[in-house]
Amino acid sequence: MNKKIFILSVLAFIASSCGQRSNKQANTKDISQTIIDDMKPTEIIETTNPDFKTLELDFGFKATAELIEEFVPYMNLYSNFKLERNNNIVYLDSSLTEYEFDNKLFPIILQTGDNSFELLFEVNNRPSKNYLKRLFVSNGKLLGQDKLPTFEAKPTDINDDGIKEYAGFGDYSQTWGENYSLTAYNPILYYSVTETGLKLDSLLTIQRNEIIYGQFYGFSFSEKYEQPISVKEKFEQELKKIRDE
């Protein structure tokens, strides 16, 4: 009787050991698979290439640029800009143009058709104010480009017409004259967000700048139309409205 109990105990121990070993192997396999599943190649690429900036954007776009100057922690400048969509090169810029990516408002991507887009990237324009480079892309090809002022905030419905607008101005104003009593005409431009892209809202631009300057002198920055320094207060009030401050 004791002999039978002993044999049964030994068999139970062996079975238990085999089960534990099988469970350990299964657990090890599960953990390894989890690590593989959690790997993100784009993050590894960015980490191992600190001299490059890579942005994975909506609609399959990817922007890459090379770090050329670093102003920690506020501003980094990049050149050798490349824009791709679905691994196909759409735009290359190997000029001396300096791009910035620190402002969270930019880049901006708008879908303007079934396979058409507007993409806006911030360009450093020192000593003048930065501007936005707008790229028009359709069917994976660059159709054209232009410049817009950098925007002050996300789009808002400024005039309560049901359409949101971006707003920005072209350059910094200086002061001159006796006791620095004069400044430049510096219009704020308003761009409506439409299904076909950003459109300059001429009427809104005229109306809002008439409030600031008394009359409208055009859509461009100009020192020809000298303004009393008092317009700066109305200018700042309008910017606060745009920023919803």
Query: What's residue 75's pLDDT?
Result: 85
CA gap 195, 167 in Å, rounded: 18
Closest CA to 90 of 145, 37, 45: 145
What amino acid is encoded at 95 in this protein?
S
Query: What's residue 86's pLDDT?
Result: 94
Report the DSSP beta bridge partners of residue 111.
117
Residues belonging to the chain: 245
Work out the burial of residue 217: count CB atoms within 10 Å of its CB; fewer than 13 is exposed, 13-18 middle, 19 or more buried: middle
- In order of 84, 99, 115, 222, the CA distances from 140 in angstroms are 9, 22, 8, 38
pLDDT in tens, 73-86: 778 999 999 999 99
Query: What's residue 43's pLDDT?
Result: 32
Query: What's residue 71's pLDDT?
Result: 82
Query: What's residue 147's pLDDT?
Result: 98
Query: What's residue 245's pLDDT?
Result: 84
The per-residue pLDDT string of the chain (245 residues; one tens digit each, 9 = 90 and over) reads 444 444 444 444 444 444 444 443 444 334 323 322 333 333 333 434 678 999 999 999 999 999 999 886 778 999 999 999 999 999 999 999 999 999 999 999 999 999 999 999 999 999 999 999 999 999 999 999 999 999 999 999 999 999 999 999 999 999 999 999 999 999 999 999 999 999 999 999 999 999 999 999 999 999 999 999 999 999 999 999 999 88
pLDDT in tens, 129-138: 999 999 999 9
Angle at CA 165, nearest 5°, toward 162 and 167? 155
CA gap 129, 169 in Å, rounded: 9
Query: What's residue 3's pLDDT?
Result: 44
- In order of 122, 185, 210, 213, the CA distances from 218 in angstroms are 24, 9, 10, 11
Structure tokens at 146: 């232009």
Report the DSSP beta bridge partners of residue 100.
122
Query: What's residue 35's pLDDT?
Result: 29
Structure tokens at 219: 């859509």
